[in-house]
Amino acid sequence: MEWVTFGVEEEYVLLDPVTGLPVAAGEQVRAAAGMAVSVGEDEVQPELLQVQIEVATPVCERLEELGGHLLRLRLAANAAAEAHGCRLAACGTPPRKGSSAPVTELARFRALRSQAPQLVAEQLINGMHVHTSVPSREVGVAVLNRLRPWLPVLVAMSANSPFWDGQDTGFASWRTVLFDRWPVSGPPPAFEDAADEARRIETLTRSGIIRDTGQLYWQARLSDRYPTVEVRCCDVQLRADEAVMFAGIVRALVMTAIRAIEAGTPVLHSPMEVLQAATWQAARYGLTGQLITATGARVSAGDAVARLMEHITPVLDATGETRELSALVHRLLRQGTPADRQRKALAEGGLRAVTDLILADTTAD
């Protein structure tokens, strides 16, 4: 079995540790983090709003390697944030929103603000993107078709954005709901092949509704910059080891898909309307309710996670990662999603306790 490399991008918000409000110090924090000896060129990057920054790991082969890079980058970015009076926060949405955050002054971001002012003003959301290598674009498209049924399960498991502007939204992943308002978003369509994908993307860009492929906000897509499949459906995770867990699961899904392609296994038909409904259900309840499968059946969240793990276990056994990932998944099922833990903190100590939890977990070893 060909080894698949992977890497992760994480988006964070910068918070005042006392008030819990976002702080527009993205440029200063990014510059300071970039000066750190432990941070490589382009590992800390600007984000749409000046209250955010993004980090990108190097290409990795093992889970422990990825975890080391994520923790290194989180600690370096947090040290830079502390030097500018704020802290790094790995939450899908901040507990409190405050006033409108200024847009980072890059041409691309200014164009987005011109296109959709209110969406940009409310784009105070943070995700994690997992890149996994694929041998060709043709294989990448076939992998996407096989990933589609599992994306709602990942949304439910990764939920980390229950609050918006100081209020409980009732959703486990409010970020998912906000992000799905863009014109090309949500679950990706099923493609016939790479030529079909290219034609449909060309139609979207020719229409002017998107400026380039960077505005393909599907939950999974092929990267134009790297030979990778990019899975984008997860909220950023409170802890670095939780991010490692999802990166490992995504890589195992991709490797399982490649195996199925090589074996000629048929693709499970997943109607778009069912996947959209399943995504909404996952964002609403996380792991606290029932989830909807790609065929429209209702199952318990625990059963959905068990089916996912059963699907990827042969690959995990081959890579030697079954024990580590299984332990992390069992912890998730026992402790709840980050959204569940945020709500528990709110019940015990209000929004201040939520902020304290987020800030502590973001740099926890």
pLDDT tens, position by position, 130-153 = 999 999 999 999 999 999 999 999
Tokens of 37: 């000896």
The answer as to whether 259 is a domain residue is yes
Q: What integer is the mean pLDDT of 59-84?
A: 97
Confidence of residue 20 (pLDDT cuts 50, 70, 90): very high
Residue 273 neighbours by CB under 8 Å, 6+ apart: none
CA atoms within 13 A on the CB side of 220: 30
Contact 331, 244 (CB under 8 A): no
Backbone angles phi, psi at 13, to 5 degrees: -110, 150
**Which whole number is the average pLDDT over 30-57?**
92
Residue 153 lies in a domain: yes
pLDDT at residue 226 in the model: 85
pLDDT, residue 144, reads 98
Residue span of the structural domain in which 221 resides: 6-362
Q: What are the φ and ψ backbone dihedral angles of 170, each rounded to 5 degrees?
A: 85, -10
**Lowest mean pLDDT segment, chosen from 107-111, 160-164, 336-340, 344-348:** 107-111
Residue 129 belongs to a domain: yes
In a domain, 311, yes or no: yes
Query: Is residue 336 included in any domain, yes or no?
Result: yes
Q: How far is CA 331 from CA 325, 327, 335, 336, in A?
A: 10, 6, 6, 8
- The residue-averaged pLDDT of 46-62 equals 97
- Reported confidence tier of residue 196, pLDDT bands at 50, 70, 90: very high
Cβ atoms of 323 and 236 closer than 8 Å? no
pLDDT digits (tens, 9 = 90+) for 231-241: 999 999 999 99
Look at residues 232, 235, 247 and name the one whose alpha carbon lies nearest to residue 62. 247
Q: Find the CATH number of the domain harbouring 122.
A: 3.30.590.20
Residue 89 lies in a domain: yes
Residue-wise pLDDT tens digits, 206-238:
999 999 999 999 999 999 888 999 999 999 999
What is the per-residue pLDDT for 92?
Answer: 98
Q: Total domain count for the chain?
A: 1
pTM: 0.97
The pLDDT of residue 37 is above 90:
no
Residue among 330, 323, 190, 331 nearest 266 (CA) = 190
Return mean pLDDT, the chain.
96
pLDDT in tens, 298-354: 999 999 999 999 999 999 999 999 999 999 999 999 999 999 999 999 999 999 999
1 domain residue, yes or no? no
Residues 85-111 have a mean pLDDT of: 94
Q: How confident is the model at residue 1 (pLDDT cuts 50, 70, 90)?
A: low
Can you tell me the mean pLDDT for 106-119? 94
**Conformation bin of residue 58: beta by default, left when phi > 0, alpha when psi is -120 to 50:** beta
Q: Indicate if the pLDDT at residue 265 is higher than 80.
A: yes
Region 191-214 average pLDDT: 95
Q: Rounded to a whole number, what is the distance in angstroms from the first to the last CA of the chain?
A: 32
Mean pLDDT of 177-185: 97
Q: What is the pLDDT of residue 259?
A: 97
pLDDT of residue 124: 97
State both tokens at 288.
Answer: 């606290």
